[in-house]
Every structure is written in C-alpha cells, then in structure tokens.
Amino acid sequence: MSPAHALHVFNSAARDEAIASLRPCLDIPRWCESLVDGRPYASAGDLVAAAEVAASPFTTAEVDGALAQHPRIGERAGGSSAEARMSRAEQAGVGTPKTAVAAALAEGNLAYERRFGRVFLIRVAGRSATEILGALNERLGHTDDEELPVVAEQLRQIAVLRLKGLFE
C-alpha cells in the first residue's frame, strides 16, 4: 500500500480501527486517541508532527503499561504481531548473543530492571550496540525522577519512527 493510500485509509477508518492501526507503534491509548481524534491529516508529515507532541507528557502508568510486553534490548521479540516484527527489525543491528557487548547489555538490562522496575528502553535505530551500552550505563546513574522523562522520550521516538514506516 502506498503511503498516500495508507494515510487515506487511516483518515477514513472507523475510530476503533484507526486506534488499532496505531497500537503497534505505541500502545498508549491516550496517544492513539489523540492522533485519531486529530484526523484528517493532509499529509503524513502532519500526522508525524502531531505524533511528536501527542499525549505529552506520558504518565508513569502509561510508560509502564507500554513497556509491559517490550523485549529487552538485545533480545528478539517473539510472535507474529506487527509490533513484534517492528521490534525485531529495529534490534537487528544490536548484535548476536555471543558478543561481549551483547553479554554486557544482558547484564545491564537486569541491573536496570532491578533499579527501575521496568525494561531498559532506547531507540536502537541508527545506534550501535556499543552506543546503546554506553547509554544504558549512563542511565543506570539516574534517579527515578530523571529516568522517567528519558524513557517517555525514547517511547515517543520509537513510536514516531514506526509511524513514519507506516505512512511515509
């Protein structure tokens, strides 16, 4: 489906269908509803611009809900859902489980989960595994209050990239 056709389908879809089409990008109901309620969009760029500010800021509960099923960085999402396929594609460059960096990521993921009670999340697209590991180690030094807005921004960046993949 061409991007222009995809946008037309999204603009004209029933509200529930349009919301469902956004959930693989980011399953925060308030974000999806905000974008759907802003229809129609004249261009994919208009939709993306709206997505960058929709439902801002995310609440702690929204972030935790969105991360509940998110795979750890370096692990491949299972299943055949659109979200799982997107996650596998995004994490393709992280490396194989046999590398030293991947092992350090696995250890860091566990340390992060113990510290913050949620999976470590970062936009991996365009970043090397070494860069991701550096960001993980840096963020382990954050307080809860410092980390929540970082996680929320990473969620938003991932959602916008996924949305661009669907509509641009």
CATH number at residue 104: 1.10.3330.10
pLDDT digits (tens, 9 = 90+) for 75-122: 664 555 445 454 444 554 545 546 888 889 999 999 999 999 999 999
Q: What is residue 126's predicted lDDT score, i.e. its pLDDT?
A: 87
What separation in angstroms does the CA of 44 have from each of 13, 31, 69? 15, 17, 28
Whole-angstrom Cα distance, residue 27 to residue 83? 9
Q: What is residue 17's predicted lDDT score, i.e. its pLDDT?
A: 98
3-state secondary structure of 94: coil
Structure tokens at 156: 């938003």
Q: What is residue 69's predicted lDDT score, i.e. its pLDDT?
A: 79
Whole-angstrom Cα distance, residue 98 to residue 121? 21
Q: What is residue 166's predicted lDDT score, i.e. its pLDDT?
A: 92
Number of domains in the chain: 1
User: Which structural domain, as residue segments, surrounds residue 53?
Assistant: 3-167
87's CB contacts (< 8 A; 6+ apart) are: 70, 71, 76, 77
